[in-house]
Structure 1
């Protein structure tokens, strides 16, 4: 039992960037939806384009012949190291490209699971840096509450790391238009680092 626990801990990706890369590698080696199921938290949300419970949507979904591939460009990490938001680019097998923003949570055993996954097609591929830009929240001061949003319709959800130094929010309108935002604490204020605005399908 102890040996198994140590083996699991040693195999756990040490950072959210490592988790993102391991996630992509698993998709290439084992299959796209197989990897999505393996790396998704039980309470994870994804968008198709309306929000769905990821594990329920992914259940029994067959892997495509070739997987999408993706790469992290930025990783924003809470001061306590328990949450991160990665953003980057992706490419479909036939050549179309897009971007993603994913919320990651460090689990009790030390590994990482994604809890929110959002993305969309774009015309020009995002660059592939040798190493993504890593930004860790300040541990100084007392983080303020992130902005509050009010909507007339459509589901939305806000989240934050336990220490409040990393926060995120998403909203999907009835048309399917979506917005995903993230903020990081710099010691004095919550600074917006992501604002993904995704038009409704066909617009």
Structure 2
């Protein structure tokens, strides 16, 4: 009887452990590594191949209308040469499960622009992107001299007004929130806000005009 109870207790403990949610460290370097690997995959295997391989099932992108990425990318042929990009600043939720990265890109024809990507942890703890967008510029955006990583705080007084309007799949702790508003003419406004402990700070504010 004692042996049976021991097995039952052990089995119950294993079941609870199996269902426990993973806890992640808010590590900007892991997001930077995911971005670098994403770009390398695009150069080695093809641009759209890399986008398919790293996108979450519910990821969205803009072409310029908002589309479900995996549907749009399905069977799409890679261009002869891929766009190249590099992250400049990464923001991570204090729970470590959501992040935003932004930086500059360069196309094979020499044109330049910026990008913003929202990343989310998958069930195994890897990063998948859930939103990717950007726009062409006449000159690259100014960026910090060194790659920069910032982490939101989970501390602070209760937020009486609640978090601002959010996009798809916000983080459980609401320390990093984002929106992607698209108008009828396909112009869009993408924002990322980070909780500082006292207020939300807008850390990314991208506006794309119609026709871009």
**Alignment TM-score > 0.5, same fold:** yes
Deviations 1:94-151 (A, max 9, x none): 10001011100011212110001110101102356564211100121256333349xx
The question of 1:201 aligning with 2:208 is answered: no
Match of 2:150 in 1: 135
Counterpart contact for 1:165–1:185, Cα < 8 Å: yes
Determine which structure has the larger strand proportion and give its number: 1
Contact residue 187 and residue 211 of structure 2 kept, 8 A: yes
Count of matched residue positions in the alignment of Structure 1 and Structure 2 = 183
Matches within 5 A, 1:93-104: 93-104=108-119
TM-score using structure 1 length: 0.84
Range with bigger deviation, 129-138 or 46-55:
129-138
Where does the alignment leave 5 or more consecutive residues of structure 2 unmatched?
1-27
Q: Who is 1:67 aligned against? A: 82
Q: Which runs of 5+ in 1 are unaligned?
A: 1-12, 150-156
- 1:161 is matched with which residue: 146, 171, 180? 171
Which structure's CA Rg is the greater one?
A: 2
1:122 counterpart = 2:137: yes
Are the equivalent residues in 2 in contact too, given 1:141–1:188 (CA < 8 A)?
yes
The counterpart of 2:185, out of the listed 153, 156, 175, is: 175
Q: Over aligned residue pairs, what C-alpha RMSD do you find?
A: 1.9
Higher helix share: 2
Quick check: 1:112 aligned with 2:122?
A: no
Q: Distance in 2 between matches of 1:129 and 1:172?
A: 29
- How far, CA to CA, are the matches of 1:60 and 1:176 in structure 2? 24
Aligned positions of 1:70-81 closer than 5 A:
70-81=85-96
SS of match in other structure, 1:73: strand
Q: Distance in 1 between matches of 2:55 and 2:179?
A: 18
1:190 equivalent to 2:200? Answer yes
C-alpha separation between the residues in 2 aligned to 1:26 and 1:158? 26
